[in-house]
Amino acid sequence: MMPDAVVWAVILVLGVGTYLIRFSFLGILGARPLPFWALRLLRYVPVAVMPAIAAPMVVWPEATGGLVEPSRLLAAAAVIAVGVVTRSVLGAIFAGIVTVYTLGAVL
């Protein structure tokens, strides 16, 4: 873990940075729209960034010392399948939790 001062610095910069992102267009540019290409790139931010963070945590989890665990791979697959079909974030989370607990107990 990092020294306290570094953690606080991260929290503060993240807080200010996030606020400025949220304030940006609403606050400064008013009703002027974003350029087309920027909107096109920004549209894919969640779907590009979040799986990049999740993938290594699914394949090589820290809790197993980095060893591949089938129950977690299957649980991730269940999350995606239920999320795609139902479009429900809550349903997908629920599917993942149920899968990892049941398979974790069985495997």
83 and 51 Cβ atoms separated by less than 8 Å: no
- Binding to other proteins in span 4-23, by CB under 8 A: 4, 6-19, 21-23
Question: By CB under 8 A, is residue 68 in contact with other proteins?
Answer: no
Q: Shortest Cβ distance from residue 79 to other proteins (Å)?
A: 5
Contacts of 58 (CB under 8 A, 6+ apart): 72, 73, 76
Q: Shortest Cβ distance from residue 105 to other proteins (Å)?
A: 10
Q: How many CB atoms lie within 10 A of CB 75?
A: 22
Q: At what angle do helices 70-86 and 89-106 cross, to 10 degrees?
A: 160
- Binding to other proteins in span 24-63, by CB under 8 A: 24-27, 29-34, 37, 39-63
54 and 76 Cβ atoms separated by less than 8 Å: yes
Among 65, 67, 68, 92, binds other proteins (CB under 8 A): 92
Among 74, 75, 106, 107, binds other proteins (CB under 8 A): 75
